[in-house]
Amino acid sequence: MKKDIILSGVGGQGILSIATVIGYAAIDSGLYMKQAEVHGMSQRGGDVQSHLRISDKEIFSDLIPFGGADIILSIEPMESLRYLPYLAEDGWVITNNTPFNNIVNYPEVKDIETEIGKVKNHILIDADDIARSLGAPLSMNMVMIGAASGSLGIDFSKLEAGIKFIFGRKGDEIVNKNIEALRAGKSFSENFLKK
Protein backbone atom coordinates (compact mmCIF):
# COMPACT_ATOMS: atom_id res chain seq x y z
CA MET A 1 0.00 0.00 0.00
CA LYS A 2 1.46 3.37 -1.04
CA LYS A 3 -0.43 6.64 -1.56
CA ASP A 4 1.20 9.86 -2.67
CA ILE A 5 -1.01 12.90 -2.21
CA ILE A 6 -0.43 16.52 -3.20
CA LEU A 7 -2.46 18.89 -1.03
CA SER A 8 -2.89 22.33 -2.52
CA GLY A 9 -4.57 25.63 -1.87
CA VAL A 10 -3.82 29.25 -1.04
CA GLY A 11 -1.77 30.37 1.98
CA GLY A 12 -4.12 30.82 4.92
CA GLN A 13 -6.80 28.39 3.63
CA GLY A 14 -5.59 25.69 5.98
CA ILE A 15 -4.38 22.76 3.91
CA LEU A 16 -2.31 21.72 6.91
CA SER A 17 -5.42 20.68 8.86
CA ILE A 18 -6.10 18.17 6.07
CA ALA A 19 -2.54 16.88 6.34
CA THR A 20 -2.87 16.58 10.11
CA VAL A 21 -6.06 14.49 10.02
CA ILE A 22 -4.92 12.15 7.23
CA GLY A 23 -1.45 11.93 8.79
CA TYR A 24 -2.87 10.99 12.17
CA ALA A 25 -5.12 8.37 10.58
CA ALA A 26 -2.14 6.92 8.68
CA ILE A 27 0.04 6.63 11.78
CA ASP A 28 -2.92 5.21 13.71
CA SER A 29 -3.21 2.56 10.98
CA GLY A 30 0.41 1.56 11.55
CA LEU A 31 1.64 3.06 8.29
CA TYR A 32 4.76 5.08 7.51
CA MET A 33 4.18 8.71 6.69
CA LYS A 34 6.16 11.69 5.41
CA GLN A 35 4.71 15.11 4.87
CA ALA A 36 6.59 18.05 3.39
CA GLU A 37 5.01 21.47 3.74
CA VAL A 38 5.71 25.06 2.80
CA HIS A 39 6.45 27.71 5.40
CA GLY A 40 7.56 31.30 5.06
CA MET A 41 7.01 33.66 2.18
CA SER A 42 4.20 31.94 0.25
CA GLN A 43 2.05 31.61 3.36
CA ARG A 44 1.10 35.25 2.73
CA GLY A 45 -1.75 34.55 0.27
CA GLY A 46 0.46 32.77 -2.27
CA ASP A 47 0.05 29.26 -3.64
CA VAL A 48 0.89 26.54 -1.12
CA GLN A 49 1.24 22.78 -1.36
CA SER A 50 2.12 19.86 0.82
CA HIS A 51 3.48 16.49 -0.24
CA LEU A 52 1.81 13.80 1.85
CA ARG A 53 3.18 10.29 1.46
CA ILE A 54 1.72 7.19 3.12
CA SER A 55 3.09 3.67 2.76
CA ASP A 56 3.35 0.31 4.48
CA LYS A 57 7.10 0.38 3.67
CA GLU A 58 9.82 2.86 4.59
CA ILE A 59 9.50 6.13 2.67
CA PHE A 60 12.67 7.82 1.39
CA SER A 61 12.00 11.03 -0.51
CA ASP A 62 10.14 13.84 1.23
CA LEU A 63 9.01 14.97 -2.22
CA ILE A 64 6.66 13.08 -4.51
CA PRO A 65 8.26 12.49 -7.93
CA PHE A 66 6.72 14.16 -10.99
CA GLY A 67 4.14 11.82 -12.50
CA GLY A 68 3.88 9.95 -9.18
CA ALA A 69 0.92 11.41 -7.26
CA ASP A 70 -2.09 9.18 -6.75
CA ILE A 71 -4.22 12.14 -5.70
CA ILE A 72 -4.16 15.91 -6.00
CA LEU A 73 -6.46 17.04 -3.22
CA SER A 74 -7.06 20.76 -3.62
CA ILE A 75 -9.22 23.20 -1.74
CA GLU A 76 -9.05 25.69 -4.61
CA PRO A 77 -9.82 24.81 -8.26
CA MET A 78 -7.05 26.70 -10.09
CA GLU A 79 -4.49 25.42 -7.58
CA SER A 80 -5.43 21.81 -8.42
CA LEU A 81 -4.16 22.43 -11.96
CA ARG A 82 -0.83 23.93 -10.88
CA TYR A 83 0.33 20.51 -9.67
CA LEU A 84 -0.73 18.39 -12.67
CA PRO A 85 2.95 17.65 -13.45
CA TYR A 86 2.94 15.58 -10.26
CA LEU A 87 -0.13 13.54 -11.17
CA ALA A 88 0.28 9.89 -12.13
CA GLU A 89 -1.35 8.78 -15.36
CA ASP A 90 -4.26 7.14 -13.54
CA GLY A 91 -4.23 9.56 -10.60
CA TRP A 92 -7.21 11.51 -9.24
CA VAL A 93 -7.81 15.25 -9.07
CA ILE A 94 -10.24 15.92 -6.25
CA THR A 95 -10.92 19.60 -5.85
CA ASN A 96 -13.17 22.12 -4.23
CA ASN A 97 -14.80 24.32 -6.89
CA THR A 98 -14.89 27.63 -4.97
CA PRO A 99 -12.29 30.01 -6.42
CA PHE A 100 -10.06 31.97 -4.07
CA ASN A 101 -9.69 35.06 -6.19
CA ASN A 102 -6.96 37.31 -4.79
CA ILE A 103 -5.20 38.15 -8.07
CA VAL A 104 -6.16 40.44 -10.93
CA ASN A 105 -5.64 37.88 -13.71
CA TYR A 106 -7.64 35.00 -12.22
CA PRO A 107 -8.93 32.87 -15.14
CA GLU A 108 -12.59 32.26 -16.03
CA VAL A 109 -14.12 29.61 -13.78
CA LYS A 110 -15.56 27.71 -16.75
CA ASP A 111 -12.06 27.47 -18.28
CA ILE A 112 -10.72 26.03 -15.06
CA GLU A 113 -13.54 23.48 -14.97
CA THR A 114 -12.86 22.56 -18.60
CA GLU A 115 -9.21 21.85 -17.76
CA ILE A 116 -10.20 19.78 -14.72
CA GLY A 117 -12.66 17.91 -16.96
CA LYS A 118 -9.75 16.87 -19.17
CA VAL A 119 -8.27 14.84 -16.31
CA LYS A 120 -9.51 11.26 -16.66
CA ASN A 121 -10.21 10.78 -12.96
CA HIS A 122 -11.60 13.84 -11.25
CA ILE A 123 -14.11 14.89 -8.63
CA LEU A 124 -15.28 18.50 -8.56
CA ILE A 125 -17.11 19.37 -5.37
CA ASP A 126 -18.67 22.48 -3.86
CA ALA A 127 -17.23 21.78 -0.44
CA ASP A 128 -17.91 25.30 0.82
CA ASP A 129 -21.60 24.95 0.02
CA ILE A 130 -21.83 21.52 1.63
CA ALA A 131 -20.09 22.77 4.77
CA ARG A 132 -22.38 25.82 4.93
CA SER A 133 -25.50 23.68 4.51
CA LEU A 134 -24.39 21.69 7.56
CA GLY A 135 -24.06 24.91 9.50
CA ALA A 136 -20.30 24.36 9.70
CA PRO A 137 -18.67 26.65 7.11
CA LEU A 138 -15.24 26.13 8.71
CA SER A 139 -15.43 22.38 8.08
CA MET A 140 -14.90 22.72 4.33
CA ASN A 141 -11.52 20.99 4.69
CA MET A 142 -13.15 17.97 6.32
CA VAL A 143 -15.66 17.76 3.45
CA MET A 144 -12.65 17.56 1.13
CA ILE A 145 -11.08 14.71 3.13
CA GLY A 146 -14.42 12.90 2.98
CA ALA A 147 -14.55 13.42 -0.78
CA ALA A 148 -11.12 11.80 -1.11
CA SER A 149 -11.71 9.08 1.49
CA GLY A 150 -12.52 6.42 -1.11
CA SER A 151 -9.05 6.73 -2.66
CA LEU A 152 -6.88 7.20 0.44
CA GLY A 153 -6.41 3.53 1.30
CA ILE A 154 -7.19 4.28 4.95
CA ASP A 155 -10.20 2.98 6.88
CA PHE A 156 -12.93 5.59 7.16
CA SER A 157 -13.15 4.96 10.90
CA LYS A 158 -9.48 5.94 11.25
CA LEU A 159 -10.24 9.30 9.63
CA GLU A 160 -13.06 9.81 12.12
CA ALA A 161 -10.69 8.91 14.92
CA GLY A 162 -8.24 11.46 13.49
CA ILE A 163 -10.86 14.18 13.69
CA LYS A 164 -11.72 13.19 17.26
CA PHE A 165 -8.06 13.40 18.20
CA ILE A 166 -7.37 16.73 16.47
CA PHE A 167 -10.55 18.57 17.49
CA GLY A 168 -11.23 16.74 20.76
CA ARG A 169 -10.19 19.59 23.03
CA LYS A 170 -12.62 21.94 21.30
CA GLY A 171 -15.58 19.88 22.52
CA ASP A 172 -18.04 17.29 21.21
CA GLU A 173 -20.07 19.71 19.15
CA ILE A 174 -17.10 20.71 16.99
CA VAL A 175 -15.98 17.08 16.66
CA ASN A 176 -19.44 16.00 15.55
CA LYS A 177 -19.81 18.83 13.04
CA ASN A 178 -16.48 17.89 11.47
CA ILE A 179 -17.35 14.21 11.31
CA GLU A 180 -20.68 15.16 9.73
CA ALA A 181 -18.76 17.19 7.14
CA LEU A 182 -16.41 14.25 6.52
CA ARG A 183 -19.38 11.96 5.89
CA ALA A 184 -21.10 14.51 3.64
CA GLY A 185 -17.95 14.71 1.49
CA LYS A 186 -17.83 10.93 1.26
CA SER A 187 -21.43 10.57 0.13
CA PHE A 188 -21.01 13.43 -2.38
CA SER A 189 -18.12 11.58 -4.03
CA GLU A 190 -20.02 8.30 -4.07
CA ASN A 191 -22.95 9.98 -5.83
CA PHE A 192 -20.65 11.93 -8.16
CA LEU A 193 -18.99 8.73 -9.32
CA LYS A 194 -22.30 6.94 -9.87
CA LYS A 195 -23.28 9.56 -12.45
Partner 1 sequence: MEKMLLLGDEALAQGVIDAGMSGMYAYPGTPSTEIMEYVQRSKTAAERDIHRKWSANEKTAAESALGMSYAGKRSMCAMKHVGLNVAADCFMNSAITGANGGTIVTVADDPSMHSSQNEQDSRNYGKFALMPTFEPSNQQECYDMAFHAFDMSEKYQIPILMRLTTRLSHSRSGVAVKEIREQNELKLPEDKRQFVLLPAIARKRYKMLLANQEKFEHESEMSPFNKYSDGSDKSVGIIACGIAYNYLMENYLDKECPYPVLKISQYPLPRKHIEKITSECGSVLVLEEGAPMVEEMLKGFLGNCLNIKGRLDGSLPRDGELNPNLVIKALTGKDFSMTPVPEIVAARPPKFCNGCGHIDAYNVLNEVMKEYGDGHVLSDIGCYTLAALPPFHSINSCVDMGASITMAKGAADAGLFPSIAVIGDSTFTHSGMTGLLDAVIENTNMVVLILDNSTTGMTGGQDSHAVDRLVSICEGLGVHKDHIIRVTPLKKNHEDMVRIIRQEIEYKGVSVVIPTRECMQTLKRKTKANK
Q: Does 195 sit near partner 1 (CB under 8 A)?
A: no
Cα–Cα dist 90/133, whole Å: 32
Is residue 117 a contact residue for partner 1 (CB under 8 A)? Answer: no
> Is 21 in contact with 144 (CB distance < 8 Å)?
no
**Residue 102 CB-half CA count within 13 A:** 12
Number of neighbouring beta carbons within 10 Å of residue 24 = 19
Q: CB 41 → partner 1: shortest distance, Å?
A: 4
Tell me whether residue 62 or residue 190 sits nearer to partner 1 (CB atom). Answer: 62
Torsion angle of the four alpha carbons 77, 151, 48, 177, in this order, in degrees rounded to the nearest 10: 80
Candidates 7, 21, 33, 142: give the one binding partner 1 (CB under 8 A).
33
Site string for partner 1, 60-79 (x = CB under 8 A): xxxx-xxxx---------xx
Map residues 85-114 to x or -, x wherever contact with partner 1 holds by CB under 8 A.
xxx--------------xx-xxxx--xx--
Give least dist CB 168 to partner 1, A.
17
